[in-house]
Amino acid sequence: MLRVTVLVSGGGTNLQAILDAVDSGKIRNAQVVSVISNNPKAYALERAKKHGIPAVCISPKAYESREAFHEGLLAAIDEAEPDLVVLAGCLVVIPPCVIRKYRGRMINIHPSLIPSFCGTGYYGLKVHEEALKRGVKVTGATVHMVDEGTDTGPILLQKAVEVQKGDTPEILQRRVMEQAEWVILPRAIDAIANKEL
């Protein structure tokens, strides 16, 4: 059974997609064992608690230095003894100590078709604003391994989503979540759990 820890900063819609996929059997041989957020107000923490999953906030503001925060984050991840760490809307830069320890066992979901609209500063609505500004006809989402760069690790899965006339960043963001993110993130976890990826 693959033990999964999910790191998230906000509402946790990708976390919910993972939990729903575990419950429905779309993710086989895996369980979410902990949820960690850097944001004490993240609704993702509530989602985890409603599901009976240990949830903790590790906020940089609660530590006297960035190094102490990094150590606290690593300790919180280690405590759950995960086989896989999933970044599901995690807006904290993952420290090198965590990347080193979980190299090859940490994945991220990004709301574009990497290498487009990714890297430092590309998160949330900004990704979709830039896609619309550039005039692309197709966007989507990518699941990739996490390395020391921002959105630079090896790509595992991608799914394309059509941009439609009249799209706003908010409408496009929702479509990318529903048609791509919530599909390929659970699929990637299932494939890893069952040694298919």
Angle, helix 169-176 to helix 125-134, in steps of 10 degrees: 110
Q: How confident is the model at residue 197 (pLDDT cuts 50, 70, 90)?
A: confident
Amino acid present at 111: P
Q: Is 2-193 assigned to CATH 3.40.50.300?
A: no
Share of the chain above pLDDT 70, in %: 100
End-to-end CA distance of the chain: 16
Q: What is the pLDDT of residues 22-73, one digit of tens each?
A: 999 999 999 999 999 999 999 999 999 999 999 999 999 999 999 999 999 9
Structure token pair of residue 176: 């990318």
Annotated domain spans of the chain: 2-193
Q: How confident is the model at residue 187 (pLDDT cuts 50, 70, 90)?
A: very high
Q: What is the pLDDT of residue 151?
A: 95
Q: How confident is the model at residue 182 (pLDDT cuts 50, 70, 90)?
A: very high
Beta bridge partners of 57: 37
Q: What is the pLDDT of residue 179?
A: 98
Residues recognised as catalytic: 110
Mean pLDDT, the chain, integer: 97
Rounded to an integer, what distance in angstroms lies between the CA atom of residue 44 and that of residue 41? 9
The β-bridge relationship of strands 30-37 and 55-57 is: parallel
Average pLDDT over residues 167-194: 98
